[in-house]
């Protein structure tokens, strides 16, 4: 059984993203974040849950960097370079895509397929906090 929770770091996709981000050389982290965000932001098709989860935590990494803070996943801190305005905008677009229509993330939270009930509002609130920190 996988990890499912409404928090930014409370799911398998986020944990996979963090593992890969930790393994990146510091100078390659922005490229990895950008690619992850582009997968979500640039998708015109149904966005699958893994891509959505990874985009949320990638956006959280950008938001932390914007605030001059390391990404704190609860177990360690990952330092990210300050984001460009373009990267901030891409993170916002990715979050809008994840929380919008034609997204498995939104569908699963809305129908109660994860965490045993309709937790869409709680999950959306966690994403909204990240989005606010990008602006």
Label residue 131 by pLDDT band (50, 70, 90). Answer: very high
As a whole number, mean pLDDT of residues 48-64 equals 94
In a domain, 5, yes or no: no
Outline where DSSP puts E strands in 22-98: 71-72, 77-78
In a domain, 130, yes or no: yes
Is residue 8's pLDDT more than 70?
yes
Label residue 1 by pLDDT band (50, 70, 90). Answer: very low
- The four Cα atoms 4, 19, 126, 117 give a dihedral, to 10 degrees, of -10
In a domain, 121, yes or no: yes
In a domain, 3, yes or no: no
Whole-number pLDDT of residue 112 = 60
The larger pLDDT score, comparing residue 62 to residue 71, is at 62
In a domain, 43, yes or no: yes
pLDDT tens digits, one per residue of 69-81: 888 766 677 888 8
Tokens (6 digits) for 8 = 């930014």
In a domain, 120, yes or no: yes
In a domain, 7, yes or no: no
Whole-number pLDDT of residue 73 = 64
Domain residue limits at 23: 12-134
How many distinct structural domains can be found in the chain? 1
Beta strand 77-78 with 71-72 is: antiparallel
Beta bridge partners of 103: 47
Is residue 93's pLDDT more than 80?
yes
Label residue 113 by pLDDT band (50, 70, 90). Answer: low
Is residue 64's pLDDT more than 90?
yes
* Residues 113, 49 contacting (CB under 8 angstroms): no
In a domain, 104, yes or no: yes
């Amino acid at each position: 059984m996988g990890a499912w929770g409404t928090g930014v770091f409370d799911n398998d996709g986020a944990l996979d993203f963090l593992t890969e981000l930790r393994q990146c050389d510091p100078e390659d982290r922005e490229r990895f974040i950008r690619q992850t965000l582009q997968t979500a932001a640039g998708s015109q098709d149904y966005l699958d849950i893994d891509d959505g989860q990874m985009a949320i935590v990638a956006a959280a990494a950008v938001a932390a960097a914007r605030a001059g803070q390391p990404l704190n996943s609860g177990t360690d801190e990952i330092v990210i370079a300050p984001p460009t305005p373009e990267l901030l905008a891409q993170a916002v677009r990715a979050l809008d895509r994840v929380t919008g229509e034609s997204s498995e993330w939104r569908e699963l939270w809305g129908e109660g397929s994860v965490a045993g009930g309709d937790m869409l509002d709680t999950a959306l609130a966690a994403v909204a906090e990240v989005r606010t920190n990008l602006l």
